[in-house]
Copies of this chain bind each other. A is one copy, B any other.
Amino acid sequence: MKAAPEREVDRSVSQTVKAQLALRDQILSGALRPGERISELQAVEMTGASRTPVRMALVRLEEEGLLEAIPSGGFMVKAFSERDISDSIELRGTLEGLAARFAAERGVSARELEPLKECLAAIDELLRQVPISIEAFSSYVALNARFHALLTELSRSPPLIRQIDRASALPFASPSAFVMAQSALPEAQQILIIGQEHHRVVIDAIENREGARAEAVMREHARLAVRNLRLALRNRTHLDLLPALALIKTATD
């Protein structure tokens, strides 16, 4: 009796979740501009859900950081400065550095390290292409995100994992976002290779229980990302690949 898909609405996913997804898409796609107020009625007709689940979705998006509560009531789309973005990336890098340190200091079995190494090898394989193809690049983005997620898990610290997830919720702070932005740069290939070296070193450090080294390399990894994001923002080419761009404040701010 699991599937009764011919209903008016899909009961398998709650209206709240559907509304949250739909609204996030609208924000990231730029249909709702930063600073713009979102009225509940508007959100209702965008999502098809009723006001109650829409309100729940709005609250969750606020906690997620995409919306900002207006004191007098309601929500507006949050705007981010360029510095907000680089700070967010550095923030995530710092947290991931702590995760790497925890993993190294607390010890990780070879069994647990295996998926990371597979990920590493798969990326190595992709990077042999010169220049890298579009398909390979999008595979890279997925593998890179997986690598970061696995590394985070290795810390075995639920509070830390939770916080990293929250820090990555902002679209431009996710491991994928800056890679996308980098794709516009002529030095893209070299950057990917350097990033991969960081990945290799952090695994080595964790294996050898070098906590400080594991942490340092992850922080450096984030700084590389910050630098490249800045570069990519300077020469704004192919930035349409980065949906989060819709959230960046204009120069007038």
**Interface on A for B, CB 8 Å cutoff?**
52, 55-56, 59-60, 63, 65, 83-84, 87-88, 90-91, 94-95, 98, 102, 157-160, 162-163, 166-167, 170, 173
Contact = CB atoms under 8 A, between A and B. Distances in A.
Contacts of A170: 159
Contacts of A56: 55-56, 59
A163 B166 contact: yes
B98 A159 contact: no
Given A59-B59, A60-B59, A87 B159 contact: yes
22 contacts: A52-B52, A59-B59, A59-B60, A63-B63, A65-B162, A83-B157, A84-B158, A87-B102, A87-B157, A87-B160, A88-B159, A90-B98, A91-B95, A91-B98, A91-B159, A91-B160, A91-B163, A159-B170, A159-B173, A163-B163, A163-B166, A163-B167
Contact residues of A: prevailing secondary structure: helix
Nearest to A170: B159
Given A60-B63, A63-B63, A91-B163, 16 more contacts: A55-B56, A56-B56, A56-B59, A83-B157, A84-B157, A84-B159, A87-B158, A87-B159, A91-B160, A94-B95, A94-B98, A159-B173, A163-B163, A163-B166, A163-B167, A166-B166
